[in-house]
């Protein structure tokens, strides 16, 4: 099953007799001192017909702390949030955001990891949608989804460190953060020793849509994902890395996610930090 869906395909599915559950996961990374982005307010101004708003910070992540800025949510709380949004195990789910794709990919990854069999991301997000929008706040019937974690691979800090040596660990952040030239958010600049720089922004074209699968496959082969070793991904807090896991899936490469990512790793002074353009 394809992990992404085009706007035209989604329009056809919504017009059919068994439309998917639509989740609006608009979110933006807010730097210190900046006014926080209000995804719920953006949703209220206009969203895809029938879509339900899901809050990444409160429903797709646990409280920030030792586990990072966006640790995985409590499984029971995540399941309850998805059921409130109308998610059921036997009904397809389509998630979208404002166009960047990171937040939608986080929802996609969490639902897949928790065992939902049919989840796709709207390629290009809201910007790709040419149909009408609505402003009515949706209150769907309760779904029946019960999370069963473990359907996809999850890494902790030790697992990420091991994979950087035995397999391929990709760093999905901007190159300057990987190299240690700047760090606007987390405690230290640099990268996990052995990790390879692979900015997630290079997985999409100017329109925000994913590159074709053959191009993504060629990109990841050039980075070392040639099918001979396990692949994992991290970023700052496990959001843009989910987008890279999605890009890898499109390319036919299974990959694990280090959810704690750099925000967890760099907060632990016992963890080594590498700087510069090379993995080590």
Cα four-point dihedral sign 270, 273, 279, 280: negative
Return d(Cα 221, Cα 204) in angstroms, integer. Answer: 16
Q: Counting beta carbons within 10 angstroms of the beta carbon of residue 38, is it exposed (0 to 12), middle (13 to 18) or buried (19 or more)?
A: middle
Closest CA to 116 of 141, 148, 85: 148
Distances in Å between the Cα of 65 and the Cα atoms of 18, 252, 264, 265 are 41, 34, 8, 12
Return d(Cα 92, Cα 252) in angstroms, integer. Answer: 21
So which residues are the catalytic ones?
235
How far is C-alpha 263 from the chain's CA centre?
15
Return d(Cα 218, Cα 211) in angstroms, integer. Answer: 11
How far is C-alpha 128 from the chain's CA centre?
18
């Amino acid at each position: 099953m394809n992990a992404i869906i085009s706007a035209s395909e989604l329009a056809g599915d919504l017009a059919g007799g068994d439309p998917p559950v639509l989740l609006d996961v608009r979110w933006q990374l807010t730097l210190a001192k900046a006014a926080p982005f209000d995804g719920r307010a953006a949703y209220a101004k206009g969203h895809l017909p029938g879509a339900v708003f899901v809050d990444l910070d409160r429903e797709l992540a646990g409280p920030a702390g030792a586990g990072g800025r966006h640790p995985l949510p409590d499984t029971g709380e995540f399941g309850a949030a998805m059921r409130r949004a109308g998610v059921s195990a036997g009904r397809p789910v389509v998630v979208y955001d404002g166009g960047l794709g990171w937040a939608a990919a986080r929802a996609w990854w969490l639902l897949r990891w928790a065992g939902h069999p049919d989840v796709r991301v709207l390629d290009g997000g809201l910007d790709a949608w040419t149909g009408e929008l609505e402003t009515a706040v949706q209150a769907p019937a309760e779904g029946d989804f019960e999370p069963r974690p473990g359907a996809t691979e999850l890494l902790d800090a030790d697992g990420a460190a091991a994979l950087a040596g035995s397999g391929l660990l990709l760093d999905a952040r901007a190159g300057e953060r990987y190299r240690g030239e700047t760090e606007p958010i987390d405690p230290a600049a640099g990268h996990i020793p052995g990790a390879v720089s692979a900015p997630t922004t290079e997985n999409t074209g100017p329109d925000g849509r994913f590159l074709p699968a053959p191009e993504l496959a060629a990109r990841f082969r050039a980075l070392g994902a040639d099918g001979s070793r396990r692949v994992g991904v991290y970023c700052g807090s496990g959001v843009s890395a989910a987008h890279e896991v999605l890009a890898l899936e499109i390319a036919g490469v299974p990959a694990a996610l280090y959810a704690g990512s750099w925000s967890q790793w760099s907060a632990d002074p016992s963890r080594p930090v590498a700087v510069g353009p090379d993995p080590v």
